[in-house]
Copies of this chain bind each other. A is one copy, B any other.
Amino acid sequence: MLKNAEFTNKLRSSGLRPTKQRLKICEVLFNRDHTFHFTINDLAKNISRELNEKISLATVYNTVHAFKKKGYLKEISINSDKSYFDTNTTNHHHFFDEDTNELIDCDDKIIETPKIKKNILGKKINSVEVLVKVATDNQNQK
Q: Which positions in A face B, CB cutoff 8 Å?
A: 75, 77-83, 93, 95, 97-99, 104, 109-120, 122-137, 139
Residues from chain B with a CB closer than 8 A to the CB of A129 are: 130-131, 133
A137 adjacent to B117 (CB under 8 Å): no
Residue contacts A-B, CB under 8 angstroms, 25 given: A75-B80, A77-B78, A80-B81, A80-B83, A98-B126, A99-B123, A111-B114, A114-B114, A114-B130, A116-B132, A119-B134, A122-B137, A123-B134, A124-B134, A124-B135, A124-B139, A125-B132, A127-B131, A127-B132, A127-B133, A128-B130, A128-B132, A129-B131, A129-B133, A131-B131
Name 5 extra pairs, CB < 8 A, besides A97-B120, A99-B123, A126-B133: A75-B80, A80-B82, A110-B117, A114-B114, A119-B134
